[in-house]
Structure 1
């Protein structure tokens, strides 16, 4: 199949590069962020790719602004920030065709409702990825971990199987994205949201790597467990069953922090340290809203949301130190 990646940030570049290099399928990149598009075009429509800060080299990509793109992909893959998605969809709306599928593999929640305005429900796939990637700068991406590291999960909005999702699974397997398919749409998406509500938000507040959180010896039971329990309570009240149990989620936080990606700075920190707004309202804030809509309270998630916004405000007085690049 042919893919159009909307958003040439860390994950958009990783998916697109892996698809074109490993799976050998055609990929176009559409970049709504003008500064990013300018940087990549100034490099001759090339992006820098590294792995664990090593082997930095340029890779050719096909990249366009939304207005200049006239391709006909089988699948659009959206990797925008939640607060940027609506503008990108508005600019691309005349390009969407009835036979095309939209895959939303973004952090947080809020994007599916937006995609439903442009694509039929049987043409929408939700996805999540546990694949650590850093955007050093516009047009400069660093794949964290060995080739084939990480995994991803996808589900049709209809929660029914389809030829498209199976073809996508085959391409993604060839790309080394390690995909799996479920028929639990919301449970699939929320499993990643609940993980991010712990790792991303807490690591951002304290400007720490995932593994450094474990220096507090009661992090799992004193910090992660209460946040996970509140999130699962909210989901259960809404009639949503996740694809992992509460205990499995705690174990996943433990494994990712200690084994899989201890040196990784999550994407929320990457935005925070570069002075950009974070997506905490679409993660912890969304969980708190879900709880309240279903007659519960999630005070820990509401407080974390305020704390992250407080940390954003404090950048004016205490500018964070960018720890993303390797030390000289």
Structure 2
């Protein structure tokens, strides 16, 4: 099948390059002009693995306005807060035959995708695949070849022939997909993991493997897990894991699969980009409010991340202005 990847950031590039390497035609559609210009000027994307073997891989990249392709499947990796605009710019490219899969961080994308695609052809999922974007058109795959995994789930929870074909081709591309039939349970399991690791590692500018060594890591993690599970139970969401299994998944990611990884939220904050915390910890808190339950730790961490974002706007001149 032919794929179009919307978003040439870290994860979009990883998925697209792996599929391309497996022999499938891939186009990249990007909304960031600097990324498009850089990739075109250098003749492709620089790809490395664990900071080694950096090499140039030719790719096709377009703005939404330039692109004229008709892919079978769209793979969406755009930041949650940019998605509505990205889809609007691409709407002339969508048709009723196409499928879309969006294994994005956080929750907030499904309603937006449903405005442009048949809900029976909307897939989402989770991606436990550590990747770093060094800069426009420069991506670093973390871990050995074949590292990482993902879950794929249909919005209607009814896998069809096309879903199985996507899973088969993702398997050939070493994305290690696992098909599930629990839509919200699948998405929320990753949201809960991210609500612990992404947020806390970002706040203290540490790798996942450093976080898990802290004497307070388990207490902090379980507190966030318990609040999130309390919310999900009130919303009748059946999660894939138990509370204990969720903590063990966090431990495994931190100690075994991705100990050297700085989460994507940290990467955004360190480069003065808005984070997706409102779609992770914020989503958990807001969902709880619908059931008259306050996940106060999640809300507190959301506001701390926003405070950290705000402090990035300060410079010497602004501080001098305050002193005067």
Q: TM-score range by the shorter chain?
A: over 0.9
CA drift at 1:98:
0.4
Instruction: State TM-score, norm by structure 2.
Output: 0.96
Instruction: State TM-score, norm by structure 1.
Output: 0.95
The worse-fitting range, judged by mean Cα deviation, of 307-316 and 78-87 is 307-316
SS at match of 1:254: helix
1:302 paired to 2:299: yes
- Alignment-derived partner of residue 262 in structure 1: 259
SS at match of 1:29: strand
Distance in 2, matches of 1:301 and 1:137, equals 30
Q: Paired residue for 1:206, among 189, 204, 207?
A: 204
Distance in 2, matches of 1:119 and 1:98, equals 7
Q: Paired residue for 2:109, among 108, 111, 114?
A: 111
**Residue 316 to residue 92, structure 1, CA distance change in 2 (3 Å):** closer
**Structure 2: where are the runs of 5+ without partners?**
317-324
CA drift at 1:318:
7.9
- Alignment-derived partner of residue 21 in structure 1: 21
SS at match of 1:215: coil
CA drift at 1:272:
0.5
After TM superposition, the structure 1 = structure 2 runs for residues 1-328 of structure 1, keeping only pairs within 5 Å, are 1-22=1-22, 24-44=23-43, 46-220=44-218, 222-317=219-314
SS at match of 1:272: helix
Deviations 1:150-169 (A, max 9, x none): 10001111111201110001
CA drift at 1:214:
2.1
The worse-fitting range, judged by mean Cα deviation, of 3-12 and 234-243 is 234-243
Distance in 2, matches of 1:302 and 1:163, equals 41
CA drift at 1:34:
0.9
Distance in 1, matches of 2:236 and 2:258, equals 32
Deviations 1:16-62 (A, max 9, x none): 0000102x111110001111111111112x00000000000000111
Distance in 1, matches of 2:189 and 2:136, equals 29
Ranges of 4+ aligned residues in structure 1 off by more than 4 Å: none
Distance in 1, matches of 2:314 and 2:251, equals 33
Aligned residues: 316
SS at match of 2:133: strand
CA drift at 1:129:
0.6
SS at match of 2:212: helix
**Structure 1: where are the runs of 5+ without partners?**
320-328
SS at match of 2:100: strand
CA drift at 1:317:
4.4
Distance in 2, matches of 1:219 and 1:264, equals 16
Query: Cα RMSD over matched residues?
Result: 1.1
